[in-house]
Amino acid sequence: MRKIPSMFWVPLFLLSSSFSVALDYSVITPRDSLKDGDTLSSTDHVFQLGFFSFDQDEQPQHRFLCLWYKQPFAVVWVANRNNPLYGTSGFLNLSASGDLQLFDGEHRALWSSSSSSKATKPAKNPYLKINCTGNLLLGDDEEAVLWQSFDDPMNTILAGMKLGKNFKTQQEWSLTSWKTLKDPSTGEYTLSLDTRGLPQLILRKKGDPSYSYRLGSWNGLSFTGAPAMGRENTLFNYKFTSSAQEVNYSWTPRRDIVSRLVLNTTGKLQRFIQSKQHEWNLANTAPEDECDYYSICGAYAVCGISSKNTPSCSCLQGFKPKSGRKWNISRGAEGCVHEVPTKCGKKDIFVKFPGMKLPDTSWSWYDSRNAMTLEDCKVKCSSNCSCTAYANTDIRKGGKGCLLWFGDLLDMREYASFGQDVYIRMGFAKKEFKGREKVGMIVGSVMSIAVVLVAVFACYRKKIMKRYHGESLIKRVGEEDMDMGLPILDIKAIYIATDDFSYINFLGRGGFGPVYKGRLENGQEIAVKRLCENSGQGVLEFKNEVKLIAKLQHRNLVRLLGCCIQGEERMLIYEYMPNKSLDFFIFDERRRRELDWGKRSNIIYGIARGLLYLHQDSRLRIIHRDLKAGNVLLDNDMNPKISDFGLAKSFGGDQSESSTNRVVGTYGYMPPEYAIDGHFSVKSDVFSFGVLVLEVITGKTNRGFQHADHDLNLLGHVWKLWVEDRAIEVPEEDLLEETCAVSEILRCIHVALHCVQQKPEDRPTMASVVLMFGSDGSLPDPKKPGFFTNRNVPDVSSSLSRSINQVSITMIQGR
């Protein structure tokens, strides 16, 4: 039976034009129309589709086409979540061609299945029904799936639904929270699978470039940051699929259990299970406590809940706080460093840390076939100085597969009866990891007394030297540089402006230290770069940087407003950029839609003009050495300003190149001659600029780029399309809609490929780049780009440290 009246015994005289009968359908065909009051039910009558108001007191009522559990009631999917109906005149139609459309009383379409349908040909006898799993399915007689609600998830995952991504079709399955309990429109939180490195399940908040919470990577049994999954293994079957074409996660119940997983309005992931009394019971919630939030203690640190139920941070064994002062809980703002530096060789060891939440795998390498043993993994990590830790990818049956980390280890936690073993690279220290040799009690006592005396003297001396050091800094830098017209701000004013450098004001991390937002007493907004004690910058280096930046005046360079020097504190105060940095926009699928080609080209040309000024038009020739999307700030009008000159080098006269044993910069932006041999020149910045141009055009990161058909990074992918005469496929599709801009986009790609060529002498100068942008003349063919053209583990014999979100790295190269 296809349709069943909700009232079975209705006198015929009531069936007139002045009365309407609510119908309950089991299947809807093109001959039917689902009106407000009608419902479509699954065959077992567990699920229903119909019109619903979340706020019954609102007039006129906002009506939504919803799919819900009938008993106990719970909405699991909303068609028109961002486009409500007003009143009860709405209706749902299915066309003969297989298009499902929602109309209001004025016959205006508010929602359509065709916007996300993958159908490639007209349907044959289409129909709409609800499966027993709660999947609203649009199919036809040829058993084709024209559209399904499981491919368009909202805030709820039901059994059999996916979270993940299909690289071939670009289909993504993710959850987005509701705005409020009475407003199902798009909220602030999104749960998705991050496929950079080893895939991991992450929660993001709108406007926050970092993660809010990370459930972690799949280890064969569960996600490493979700202990509740381990407790639920007797209730549910978890499935994780990872291949070149698709990565996804799903679950099904082991027994006769009815459950739903909901991302609520506050960013909590909640598991509800239906009781025998037909009530929804909350089984668990993630994050479970404050320590679950992303990297709350920084690198190489773990978070624990104290007896007062508050989070507390501690360094892993063999590490010490980055700051000598008491370090506060702050995302990435503090953290820990090695007590004994690694030396990249046989003297390094790997220490086992059991029961851990695996660190962030955004910048990791893994054995996709799970064929390597743990010993194989250790050998591979040992042979690459960039490798900081290793672990198994699958912990079942004793463990298999290999996972390598490159850079700082973030967002770790120790569990009492959960977690996984992680092997972290350490500098060899016999007393820390091999046990202390036994000594006599008398000798021990004498040594203890000596240590106490030395410590007392050291503390006294440090106090005196700290006072002298602060005074000398102010004297040597402050008094000498007052003639530069650069104000020196009082440290108390900076602490007040930044609210004691609270996490709320944390903007990110640049070269040599974190950056905070502040507001001075006069209302002026500022950005404060707080240099770390162990940043490597001494007094003279800091003084030179201040002098260098203070004399730079260009509309595409961020302006230095002043500095602050007191005691061990050294700070630079910059103008505040309200639109944050370029990476905040360009690498976010939603926000980059705000950047049409006009804005993107203005950003590209502005960065080029800023670099030209540094290389040629300023008093000194300056090489930035860390040009990347995160170091390009955007003002109110989206004009670019190059920032963060902590790694910059200046030259006088005709000098334009140099070399170093201390390579600094960011992976993905470094040219090969610099990353491998330490040679840098103005052409190093040109290479970084070329990478940046391609990232702006594609909206993809160079190193994080993934494609179903190959294992190339962004440079390799663009080059492949170029030589195949398919450069038109490089830009985002939205940009190609601006037909008048296509030739300009292709020219930018052409210029960018010249900038990223293997040899420095083959790259143009920034003066030539600006000229190429501004002319219409033909350009020579570019050569193959340099450096990493695939995403495999880098085979570089050097020591490298790196952290998430492409902050600056430091490589120590033996020469």
What whole-number distance in Å separates Cα of residue 463 and Cα of residue 459? Answer: 6
User: Which among 32, 104, 626, 644 is annotated as catalytic?
Assistant: 626
What's the half-sphere exposure (Cβ side, CA atoms, 13 Å) at 438?
A: 0
- Which amino acid type is present at position 95? S
Inter-residue contact 223 to 215 (CB < 8 Å): yes
| 800 DSSP assignment | E
Helix, strand or coil, per DSSP, at residue 731: coil
Return d(Cα 214, Cα 510) in angstroms, integer. 23
Full DSSP string of 567-623: TTEEEEEEE--TT-BHHHHHTSTTGGGG--HHHHHHHHHHHHHHHHIIIIISSSEEE
Give the Cα separation of 472 and 474 in Å (integer): 5
776: Cβ–Cβ under 8 A, 6 or more apart, which residues? none
Nearest CA among 515, 543, 519 for reference residue 531: 515
Closest CA to 394 of 374, 409, 414: 374
CA separation for the pair 335, 46 (Å, rounded)? 50
CB of 407 closer than 8 Å to CB of 809 = yes
DSSP, res 503: G
Tokens 């170029």 belong to 722
Contact (Cβ atoms closer than 8 angstroms) between residue 336 and residue 322: yes
Q: Which burial class, exposed, middle or buried, applies to 547 when counting CB atoms under 10 A from its CB (0-12, 13-18, 19+)?
A: middle
Provide the 3-class DSSP secondary structure of residue 774.
Answer: helix
What is the rounded distance in angstroms from the CA atom of residue 159 to the CA atom of residue 69?
Answer: 13
Radius of gyration of the chain (CA): 30
Distances (CA, A) of 792 to 167, 484, 789: 18, 49, 9
Helix (H), strand (E) at residue 685:
helix 682-698
Helix, strand and coil percent figures for the chain, each rounded to 5: 25, 30, 45
Task: Look up 734 and say whether it is catalytic.
Answer: no
Rounded CA-CA distance 788/794 in Å is 8
Evaluate whether 133 touches 108 at the Cβ level (below 8 Å): no
61: its two tokens: 């009522």
Q: Are 603 and 640 in contact (CB under 8 A)?
A: yes
Q: Tell me the residue length of the chain.
A: 815
Distances (CA, A) of 535 to 323, 514, 799: 10, 11, 17
HSE, side-chain direction, 13 A CA sphere, residue 474: 15
The residues, ordered by sequence, that sit 6+ positions from 321 with a Cβ below 8 Å of its Cβ are: 315, 327, 334, 335, 336, 337
**Phi, psi (rounded to 5 degrees) for 246:** -155, 145
3 state DSSP class of 452: helix
Residues designated catalytic: 626
